[in-house]
Chains A and B, each alone.
Chain A
Amino acid sequence: MVQAFENSRNKIHPHKFLLYVAIVSISMMFAAFTSAYIVKQAQGNWLEYSFPIHFYFSTATIVISSFVLHRSFTAYNAGNEQRYKQFLLLGLGLGICFVVLQYFGWLALYEKGVDLKGNVSGSFFYLITFIHVLHVLGGIAALLLAVYHAFSLKFKVTASRRVKLDLVTTYWHFVDILWVYLFIFLLISK
Chain B
Amino acid sequence: MANVTTIHEDDVLINEHGYNDHFHDHHHGDKYQTNFLTHYVFSMDHKMISKQFLITGMFWALIGAAFSVIFRLQLGFPEQSLAWIKPLLGKWIVIDPTTGVGTLMPEFYYALVTMHGTVIVFFVLTAGLSGTFSNLLIPLQVGARDMASPFMNMLSYWFFFAAGIVMFYSLFVSTGPFAGGWTAYPPLSALPQASSGSGTGMSLWLISLILFVISVVLGGTNYITTVLNLRTKGMTMWRLPLTVWAFFITAIVGLVSFPVLASGFFMLITDRSLGTSFFLSDIFISGQALDRVGGSPILYQHIFWFLGHPEVYIIILPAMGLVSEVMSVHARKPIFGYKAMVYSLGTIAFLSCIVWAHHMFASGINPLISNFFMTFTMIIAVPSSVKVFNWLTTLYRGNIRLNAPMLFALGFVTMFISGGLTGIFMASTPIDIQIHDTYFIIAHFHLVMGVAAFFGMFAGIYHWFPKMYGRFMNEAMGKMHFWGTMICAYGIFWPMHYLGMAGVPRRYYSFDAFESFKHFSEMNKFITIFAIAAFFFQLLFIINFFYSIWHGKKVKSKNPWGANTLEWTTPIHAGHGNWPGNLPIVHRWPYDYNKDEREFVPQHIPLQPGERSDGEH
Docked complex Cα distance between A29 and B263 (Å): 6
Could you mark each residue 1-28 of chain A with 1 if its beta carbon is under 8 Å from any beta carbon of chain B, else 0?
A: 1111111111010110110011011101
Q: Does A32 contact B (CB under 8 A)?
A: yes
Docked complex Cα distance between A85 and B446 (Å): 59
Chain B contacts with A in 262-298, Cβ cutoff 8 A: 262-264, 266-267, 270, 274-278, 293-296
Chain A positions within 8 Å of B19 at CB level: 7
Chain B positions within 8 Å of A10 at CB level: 228-229
- Choose the segment among B219-227, B480-488, B509-517 that binds chain A (4+ C-beta atoms closer than 8 Å): B219-227
Docked complex Cα distance between A34 and B144 (Å): 39
Say yes or no: B270 contacts A4, CB within 8 Å: no
Q: Does A51 contact B (CB under 8 A)?
A: no
Q: From the candidates A28, A43, A131, name the one contacting B266 in the complex (CB within 8 A).
A: A131
B338 to chain A, nearest CB (A): 21
Say yes or no: A5 contacts B225, CB within 8 Å: no
Q: Does B587 contact A (CB under 8 A)?
A: no
Say yes or no: A39 contacts B299, CB within 8 Å: yes
Chain A positions within 8 Å of B1 at CB level: 6
B296 to chain A, nearest CB (A): 6
Say yes or no: B260 contacts A3, CB within 8 Å: no
B173 to chain A, nearest CB (A): 27
Chain B positions within 8 Å of A4 at CB level: 21, 144-146, 150, 230
Q: Does A116 contact B (CB under 8 A)?
A: yes
Docked complex Cα distance between A28 and B226 (Å): 21
Docked complex Cα distance between A98 and B158 (Å): 33
Q: From the candidates A2, A6, A36, A43, name the one contacting B263 in the complex (CB within 8 A).
A: A36
Docked complex Cα distance between A159 and B108 (Å): 58
Report the nearest B residue to A2, measured CB to CB. Answer: B26
How many positions in chain A have a CB within 8 Å of any CB in the partner chain?
39
Docked complex Cα distance between A125 and B306 (Å): 22
Q: Does A123 contact B (CB under 8 A)?
A: yes
Chain B's interface size range is 35 or more
Q: From the candidates B221, B231, B232, B270, name the one contacting A21 in the complex (CB within 8 A).
A: B221
Q: From the candidates B23, B148, B267, name the one contacting A36 in the complex (CB within 8 A).
A: B267
Q: From the candidates B31, B222, B230, name the one contacting A7 in the complex (CB within 8 A).
A: B230
Q: Does A154 contact B (CB under 8 A)?
A: no
Report the nearest B residue to A33, measured CB to CB. Answer: B263
Say yes or no: B277 contacts A120, CB within 8 Å: yes
Say yes or no: A15 contacts B148, CB within 8 Å: yes
Docked complex Cα distance between A119 and B302 (Å): 20
Could you mark each residue 6-38 of chain B with 1 if its beta carbon is under 8 Å from any beta carbon of chain A, else 0?
A: 000000000000011111011001110000000
Give me the interface of B with A, judged by CB distance under 8 Å. 1, 19-23, 25-26, 29-31, 143-146, 148-150, 152, 217, 220-222, 224-226, 228-233, 255-260, 262-264, 266-267, 270, 274-278, 293-296, 299, 302-303, 306, 583
Give me the interface of A with B, judged by CB distance under 8 Å. 1-10, 12, 14-15, 17-18, 21-22, 24-26, 28-33, 36, 39-40, 43, 45, 116-117, 119-120, 123-124, 127, 131
